[in-house]
Structure 1
């Protein structure tokens, strides 16, 4: 269950909108939000104390926004390497989830922020909710607009029938009170011929149906089996079906501390315009 979330913010386009997910997460047990700003020591240099003081004033406005939706919120402003500090704070504060943002034009418009999002997705063992934004220009002024609203209304669960499948099902049960519809998806990536492809699709559909049975009470469940390259097929289906959130597991690498996204999750992170919920493949 997600009780505590960490929201790193750099006060750029979309930062305030990033907090809008809190309302939905309140319904599934959210108790505390930690708002974090990291003063980049590589950019601030001798001006770091001034940047830190300004950030403390700005982040207080965000804390007040959380008060308005009756969520307990605390703030942290620290100096350091942005991406490494976010990962460290997430561990030290023992948060359940990190909420970050990315634009739909590439991973994120700012390369520094883009590298941060990618680093956290790879290295952190936390659940990560990545919001996606469309950047539009109105009257020569850039504005952000969320790619999806009500992100838990139509959720896609790509599964590969590995150990990851059990992890993703266990996690999604915590969200059943706010999910309206779940689409289970399996992509057959390899088959020797049409006969084998048909057999694999039929068997996969049976397995998907079994997986969805325990979630059918109160939630609309659909099943899709297709073939092709996994990330491309998932992204295409997500667009065609107007999906509001893709939930996918990352892959652990044994005894190493780091987390590798795995090829499907990594390609989706780069490609899709849909929000992503990344669930790490390891015991937390």
Structure 2
């Protein structure tokens, strides 16, 4: 499932935290890591070659951290626009996912910055965003992804074709890694209030509940422990509120669909969830 991944690094303590925790992906079949650092040339015109040479020892240091965890590692240092370069490397190496931290100092300082958000827009591969919480130095730093991320997963669904294929993806994951899953659908209260009569709204709720039960049965057959939740309100707010529960360790959600995911890349759901949650989020692309 995750046999080969691409990690973007800015050599910050936050990225060191991320790299120290990559070993968790072994349970999902990880063998090879492409470790990439992109120098944004607009930040240092005329100094590209000097910066590139200075970055070699740093990327070699992080390479050793990954090799110590038993991975085959390839390093890449490139000049250019970070998101574009990372996308090109992901395609060149045919990686199964792109892994990025959501804290740091360089080009990915925050999820509202250009790289993380841009990767959600342009990548045709899964993007794993891991919020890094640095609480000390060296070995004492902490990262959400380290805490059994694939054990208790929150899965927002909107019943689109892409949402159905995300269930296919989870079925494949369950073949390698047993997990507890909670399927969450949020009924947009604005849609109910403006578009449905009382009787229609009740029928719609029953229909949604039945759809959740069908998805639950599929994932249980694949070996997962599955629960379902139905909520009403503003979708991104409800999702973010559920991620604040100590119960979950990871969110898996799509970036396209219909309903409350339709406008995700314009900032409504996916952006708000990635910006506000403290959990790692695995964003799955539009499946074709």
Give the corresponding residue for 2:279. Answer: 274
| Contact 1:147-1:274 at 8 Å conserved across structures | yes
The corresponding residue for 2:171 is 173
Measured after TM superposition, the shift of residue 135 of structure 1 is 5.0
Describe how 1:88-99 pairs up with structure 2 within 5 A. 88-99=88-99
Structure 1 Cα separation of the partners of residues 242 and 110 of structure 2: 28
Residue 204 of structure 2 is aligned to residue 200 of structure 1: yes
What are the equivalent positions in structure 2 for 1:97-176 lying under 5 Å apart?
Answer: 97-103=97-103, 110=109, 114-134=113-133, 145-147=142-144, 149-176=147-174
| Residue 187 (structure 2) aligns with | 188
Q: Deviations for 1:6-30, whole angstroms, at most 9, x for unmatched residues?
A: 1010011311121244322222222
Once the two structures are superposed, residues 92-121 of structure 1 have per-residue CA deviations (whole angstroms, 9 ceiling, x without a partner) of 2222211011149xxx98369821111111
RMSD: 2.8
Give the superposition deviation at 1:272. Answer: 1.9
- Normalised by the length of structure 1, the TM-score is 0.85
Q: TM-score, normalised by structure 2?
A: 0.84
CA 1:123–1:42: 2 relative to 1, 3 Å: same
Alpha-carbon spacing, 1:30–1:115, altered in 2? closer, same or farther (3 Å): same
Once the two structures are superposed, the pairs formed by residues 1-284 of structure 1 within 5 Å of their partners are 1-103=1-103, 110=109, 114-134=113-133, 145-147=142-144, 149-176=147-174, 177-189=176-188, 190-191=191-192, 192=196, 195-217=199-221, 218-240=223-245, 242-251=247-256, 260=265, 263-283=268-288
Is the 8 Å Cα contact of residues 160 and 257 (structure 2) preserved in structure 1?
no
Taking the aligned partners of 1:28 and 1:206, their CA distance within structure 2 comes to 31
Consecutive unaligned residues of structure 2, counting only runs of 5 or more, are 259-263
Q: Distance in 2 between matches of 1:264 and 1:251?
A: 10
Q: Which has the higher strand share?
A: 1
Gaps of 5+ in 1: 254-258
- Following TM superposition, by how much is the alpha carbon of 1:151 offset from its aligned partner in structure 2, in angstroms? 0.9
Q: In proportion to residue count, which structure has more helix? A: 2
Query: 2: distance between equivalents of 1:197 and 1:146?
Result: 42
Structure 1 counterpart of 2:261:
none
Q: What's the offset of the Cα at 1:248?
A: 0.8
Q: 1:50 to 1:32 in 2, by over 3 A?
A: same
Displacement, 1:173?
A: 2.2
